[in-house]
A and B are shown apart, each in its own frame.
Chain A
Amino acid sequence: MKKLLPLALGIAALATGSIASAGTLDDVRSNDVLKCGVSTGLAGFATPDDTGEWQGLDVDTCRAIAAAVLGDAKKVEFVPLTSKVRFEVLKSGEIDVLSRVTTWTLTRDVGLGLNFAGVNYYDGQGFMVSKDLGVSSAKELDGASVCVQTGTTTELNLSEYFRLNGMTYEPVPVETSTEGRAAYSAGRCDVYTTDASALAAQRTGLTNPGNYVILPEIISKEPLGPVVRHGDDQWFDIVKWSHNAMLNAEELGVTAANAVERSKDANNPAVQKLLGTADAGLGKQLGLSEDWALNIITQVGNYGESFERNVGVKTPLGLERGMNGLWNDGKTGIQYAPPIK
């Protein structure tokens, strides 16, 4: 198979007179739409709402890139992907960017030939148990049956954590979060484990959410972010800086509502550079128009706005900023974007 593949590729390329792949940026421009891989449905990160519009934190990342490149945050074609096919679909070039709660790891970054363009959500794996179990720490879970989604890093973390702590567990593999919740509420497992953000979503769906606690231990680092293919540095830069622009905007207090007004503020060079009014030619360096970041902020909002709209404390998910606060919020925030200048 390994020998056949390049051969077949060669033949295929010859047969069609070898169409050279233009850069992703050119592809997106000529299609006039950004093809963005998202979850098939994950509360707060990517779900279609009642009118069929996609909503969520990952969706906003897609929209931001579309706003930067095409000037219109609506020009996104969302491609719902399962966790099994996501990397193959990205690598085969069917999507331009993957924004699908994907954990940044060395194997994926290097081994799979991908580039992670930043972290739009710092997550970590946690445990949810029923209060009736009387457990207050994950260290007391010896011998428990654990519902865990297959084919994810979650499974691996779980077995490592239990082994390191000298505990045993009985895995109850589930395929989807819906199946997981059904298995959990039917009592097929004592513990439900997945990323903490997803646990919060799962808890709201249980019959009596108040009866369940999420244990304090977070057993893994799950930095989630947008992913692109190796080999197109310009596109990698665009995705990376689209995300950074949202973070910088929040840090500078630029919001969707005040962005246009702030862009005229001659006293603040940092804001002017971000919003393209400083005549610094930053957009040109990216291969974009000068108002690229202004489009992101006016059409999608800054990172904080996107966070609060999709997963924040006022939403049913009710997630605290926590690690996803800005680095200078004086609390536990670690979201830190390099400056735009």
Chain B
Amino acid sequence: MAKRAPRILGIDAGGTMTDTFLIDEEGRFIVGKAQTTAYDESVGFLASMEDGLKYWDLKLEEGIGTLRTGIYSGTAMLNRMLERKGRRVGLIVSGGMEDYLRTERGIQTYLGYSYSDRLHLVTHHHNEPLVPRNRIFGVRGRIDVFGKEAIPLYEKEVYSAVETLLDRDAESIVVCLLFSYKNGAHEKRIGEIAREVMAKRGKELPIYLSSELYPVRQDMPRLNSTLMEAYAAEPSRTSLTNVRKCVRDHGGRFDLRVMASHGGTISMDARELARTMISGPIGGVIGARYLGAQIGVKHLACSDIGGTSFDLALVTEGEFEITQTPDIARFLLSMPLVRIDSVGAGTGSFVRVNPTSNRIEVGPDSAGARIGMCWEKSGVNTVSITDCNVVLGYINPDFFLGGEITLDRQRAIDAVEVQIAKPLGLDVYKAAQGVIELFEDSLKSSLLGKILGQGYTPASYNLLSYGGGGPLHVAGYSDGLAFDDVLVPAWAPGFSAFGCACGDYEYRFDKTLDLALLPKTPAEDRQALVAAINGAWAQLRAEVEREFAKSDVPVDRVGYRPAVRMLYYGQLNALEVASPKQQLESAEDLNLLIKGFEELYSRIYGLGAKTPQFGYTIAGVVMSGSTEVEKPILPREPLAGPDDWKDLAVKGSRPVYYRSAWHEATLVDLEKLPAGSDIPGPAVVESPSSTMFVPPGRRVRLDEHRIFHMSVRAAAQLKLAAA
């Protein structure tokens, strides 16, 4: 057999494991695993590569040498934040705002909490500040809401602040002043003074100005984002470049890029690196968009079930949504993030019966990697969702993680009996089934709510299910919803890593403008507005070019996508509207933007919510620029007959409990399953890293790209949802 030639590399460096995902030119892939090495990530990365390449009988140099592109995503930066192991930052803010990190925003005391804890005030608490109060200085001076100088900068105070920060051994200086997104003159001047003082003292510290890095409204999120850049992102740049060096030392001839929150990949030399902090979970959404484009599907509802959460995202008209003020690690940030809604329930979620109300509660805490009571060694003493799956026969106790861990089914049965079934007065199997139904039903309603909330119905979407728990539960949480199709890639557990490899090489920049476009706005002002928008786009386009220049990407290979962020005049929440033109040519073109906004707004909030009589605000502009990079090609296999699998891939059978009865399910080996197979339920399709359950009455068909299509079962009575 000819040697494989890996073309694309995806690295997912998690807190405990580093996964490498290698794809060859025919779309075949392998996954390598090794422990993450926090002291030097390149060590874990190499070990993981070696682990993967051994399946293709390749040595490290051989494997790296043929690679054309590589994408990195990891949690090192996030961990640096969470463990508060970042740089010694010095911070300069507007005079009087020195307590920013002590008062925070009240919302940061309960971000990410469950409904119950949001009500339960005694659980709310502030973050430990990233910068201690004695390295934060205020300097007098003010820019007002219109960007005009209300109070000139008190330069003497700036000199004194910089001197003291240097005395206190600050390693970098962050500057964030009020309304600097409107007018960065004061911040710029502080930068100059800081450089002057440093030059005198023979020092050179990096300076981060919020007006340069994140010129968008909202002072706390802008401050947090700029701080993260200095505190966590910059030190991570060093470890990223170590990985890059290591690749090059082993003969790699490609530029290793990093997945960023806006859904594109960027160079590790990019100025705004903090946005690579949260890349992991969005990989799947990017993969979904790419997969959709390959198979000709424009609307995808992405659902990812992991051990602790159920993540939902929509790809609509071939694009994912972007949120502007996401929160990460309990901080509000000002950076574009692919919108993902997370429900705090996954396969590891704990299940309890509340002793006072005698009602079932799922989560919010989870056994995570400790699986559940079915694994005695884990020390877990509360029933998890996985335990229920084991009780019902869906999960093979002897083939969990390909047999790496042997689960104790009887232990799970006993635990469910004592903790769930008895208190509810149910038979143990009915209780386990009930828990799974409840779990899947809550996922289903989140999914439905998300789709309806965008003004669509399930019929407009293909449901895409992935993650370790996706294939097991997709039949349950899609039951009754009239999706156009239900898709499960055979590589569902590695889909997020695959997705990272599908990212465009893309930079995106945002800028706040706050320009009013009112019914009474005269023609000449409309003309000025057009000029302002074009000017801001040009400025951001130059920034995109500057970043690409760092990687020697020529300007003529970059495609640009201009957009505006728009809202009704006075509103606070903007919608992103793509511009149909690269530049606005006349005031008439503003109507194109208005039309796009009105369509989007009425779809999301309903016709009754429209208020065009107040006029509009162009809150800001967006410019994305991307260039072609090599992406995975989907596998393409010859189709076997629909029943050929019966001779090739059947492993046996196992009883499974479903809808209050036992059924004998066919056990199918995914690895041996040929494309074209059509499998009726009840069946369980197993691979070392995943289990798919096909209930009685439904079936799955494996297509030429190794994507399963599960038959849709729409409840006839769902006429309202479809109407």
A binds B: no
Interface residues of A (CB under 8 A from B): none
Question: Which residues of B are in contact with A by a Cβ distance under 8 Å?
Answer: none
